[in-house]
């Protein structure tokens, strides 16, 4: 059994289900990300695992023991909450040391432990300063250090970088990744940031409306997620989704949309019928025509906005029926046309299909001309 396992966790606030039968088995080492949007149940899941909230049903297993009704202090894990306020009258050193002082650790041990974790998080030069003398990134590092000062083999981190500017978050993501590897501990990290999930996670569990709808490695979930929500939200820019219909043909199956149609392979191949589907394709797979002929699926669109992001340009498009689309194209001088009409193209095997009712993946487009 894995070090951390939850089975059929349920939690309600009033009549609203927040956790609706969550099953999750966390690998024994590495960094597992719980990725979900606001209100998906991420924080509640971590608080139930930590013992700070009681589940209405289900079980939490730590190290092979059922700890569902065990007090938080007896679970032998460390928890870093989302809003970890610092004591303004204390120095950074004393803020970090506070949990160890509550446990009456020897002064020599406290000093050594604080300096070790401060060095790891690169805040050893601000330990004598109070919070009002620190930058936002330094405050967050002190807060994380205070949460991680307790030695444990399981650390729960509830979106600890939320609210920081992009560059500070980018640096702290690298430091947290390094910290986890140094400690060799299990990290369970909740976030609503898709790029943070892909950069940090050895394994990602996707939570939507209180249920785990997807799980796997970052590469697997980016390339072939089981659930439509994962496909649309894990990555940048957002994935395009076109409403269509699955149709039977003499040779198999095809998907028909207002802009294109293409043959598809279904998984599983049997037990399908004609039904509404979502045909999805990623923005970075789109090219601007004319092309070299490798993109047999093309349609007309209008460019309404361009955003240069360094080496690439994000194009905001509208198709003939007014639907909004995204394209990510290389940024070269003259590569991206100004506002106006353009023909965009992509390959059939870039298309992934999801059932419109269940939102589960059911297949993908078939590569043509031996390409892909």
139, 241: one domain:
no
Do 166 and 209 fall within a single domain? yes
Q: Is residue 371 in some structural domain?
A: no
Q: Where is the domain boundary, 227, 248, 279?
A: 227
DSSP letters, 291-341, are: -SS---EEEEEEEEEEEE-SSEEEEEEEETTS-EEEEEEE--TTTS--SEE
Same domain, 207 and 335: no
Do residues 174 and 265 share a domain? no
CATH value at residue 203: 3.40.50.300
Based on the domain organization, do 331 and 268 belong to the same domain?
A: yes
Query: Do the domain assignments include residue 272?
Result: yes
Cis peptide preceding 290, ω within 30 of 0: yes
Which pLDDT does position 130 carry in this prediction? 95
Q: Please check whether residues 342 and 288 belong to one and the same domain.
A: yes
Tokens matching residue 143: 């807060």
Domain-embedded: residue 257: yes
Sheet holding 30-35, edge to edge: 78-80, 154-158, 186-191, 30-35, 203-208, 211-216
372 found inside a domain: no
Same domain, 75 and 165: yes
37 found inside a domain: yes
Asked whether residue 34 is assigned to any structural domain, the reply reads yes
Residue 164's alpha-carbon distances to 87, 160, 188, 195, 222, in angstroms, are: 19, 9, 20, 14, 25
Cis peptide leading into residue 237 (ω within 30°): yes
- Classify 239 as helix, strand or coil: coil
**Spatial separation of the C-alpha atoms in residues 196 and 284, rounded to whole Å:** 19
pLDDT of residue 71: 94
Length of the chain: 372
Letter string b/e over residues 13-50, b meaning 16 or more CB atoms within 10 A of that residue's CB: eeeebbbeebebbbeebebbbbbbeeebbbbbbbbbbb
Residues 306 and 197 in one domain: no
First and final CA of the chain: distance in angstroms?
39
CATH number, domain of 326, equals 2.40.50.100
Q: Provide CB contacts within 8 A for 242, sequence distance 6+.
A: 257, 258, 259, 278, 279, 280, 281, 323
Q: Specify the number of domains making up the chain.
A: 2
Q: 182, 198, 227 — which closes off a domain?
A: 227
Does residue 250 share a domain with residue 206?
no
Domain, as residue range, for 185 = 4-227
Side-chain half-sphere of 43: how many Cα atoms within 13 Å? 11
Which pLDDT belongs to residue 370? Answer: 42
pLDDT in tens, the chain (372 residues): 578 999 999 999 998 999 999 999 998 878 999 999 999 999 999 999 999 999 999 999 998 999 999 999 889 888 888 776 799 999 999 999 998 998 899 999 999 999 988 988 889 999 999 999 998 888 888 988 998 888 888 899 999 888 777 777 787 888 888 888 888 889 999 999 998 999 999 999 999 999 999 999 999 999 999 999 999 999 887 799 999 999 998 888 999 998 889 999 998 876 678 899 999 999 988 888 654 555 678 888 888 888 888 788 888 998 877 788 889 888 754 555 556 788 888 889 999 999 999 999 999 999 865 443
In a domain, 370, yes or no: no
User: Which residues have CB under 8 Å from 334's CB, separation 6+?
Assistant: none
pLDDT computed for residue 293 by the predictor? 53
Same domain membership, residue 165 and residue 57: yes
3-state secondary structure of 28: coil
Same domain, 215 and 300: no
Residue 191, helix vs strand vs coil: strand
Same domain (yes/no): 206, 246: no
Domain boundary among 206, 227, 248: 227
**Residue 119 falls in which region: left (phi positive, over 0), alpha (psi -120 to 50) or beta:** alpha
**CA-to-CA distance for 100 and 110, rounded, in angstroms?**
7
């Amino acid at each position: 059994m894995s070090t951390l396992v939850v089975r059929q966790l349920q939690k309600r606030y009033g009549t609203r289900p927040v956790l609706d039968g969550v099953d999750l088995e966390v690998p024994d080492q590495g960094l597992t990300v719980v990725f979900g949007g606001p209100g998906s149940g991420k924080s509640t899941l971590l608080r139930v695992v930590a013992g700070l909230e009681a589940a209405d049903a289900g079980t939490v297993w730590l190290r092979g023991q059922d700890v569902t009704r065990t007090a938080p202090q007896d679970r032998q894990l460390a928890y870093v909450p989302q809003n970890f306020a610092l004591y303004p009258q204390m120095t950074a050193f004393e803020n970090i040391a506070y949990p160890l002082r509550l446990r009456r650790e020897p002064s020599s041990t406290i000093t050594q432990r604080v300096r070790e974790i401060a060095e790891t998080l690169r805040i050893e030069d601000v330990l004598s300063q109070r919070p009002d003398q620190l930058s936002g990134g330094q405050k967050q590092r002190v807060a994380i250090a205070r949460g991680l000062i307790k030695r444990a083999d399981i650390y729960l981190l509830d979106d600890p970088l939320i609210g920081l500017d992009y560059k500070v978050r980018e640096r702290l993501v690298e430091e947290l990744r390094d910290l986890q590897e140094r400690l060799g501990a299990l990290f369970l990290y909740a976030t609503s940031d898709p790029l943070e999930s892909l950069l940090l996670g050895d394994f990602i569990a996707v939570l939507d409306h209180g249920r785990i709808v997807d799980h796997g490695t970052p590469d697997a979930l980016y390339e072939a997620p089981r659930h439509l929500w994962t496909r649309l939200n894990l990555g940048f820019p957002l994935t395009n989704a076109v409403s269509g219909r699955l149709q039977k043909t003499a040779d198999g199956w095809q998907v028909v949309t207002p802009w294109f149609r293409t043959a598809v392979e279904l998984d599983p191949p049997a037990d399908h019928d004609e039904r509404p589907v979502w045909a999805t394709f990623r923005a970075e797979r789109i090219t601007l025509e004319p092309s070299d002929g490798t993109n047999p699926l093309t349609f007309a669109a209008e460019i309404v906005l361009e955003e240069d992001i360094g080496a690439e340009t994000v194009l905001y498009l509208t198709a003939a029926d007014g639907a909004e689309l995204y394209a990510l194209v290389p940024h070269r001088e003259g590569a991206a046309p100004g506002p106006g009409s353009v023909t965009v193209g992509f390959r059939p095997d870039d298309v992934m299909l999801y059932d419109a009712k269940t939102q589960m993946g059911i297949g993908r487009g078939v590569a043509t001309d031996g390409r892909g």
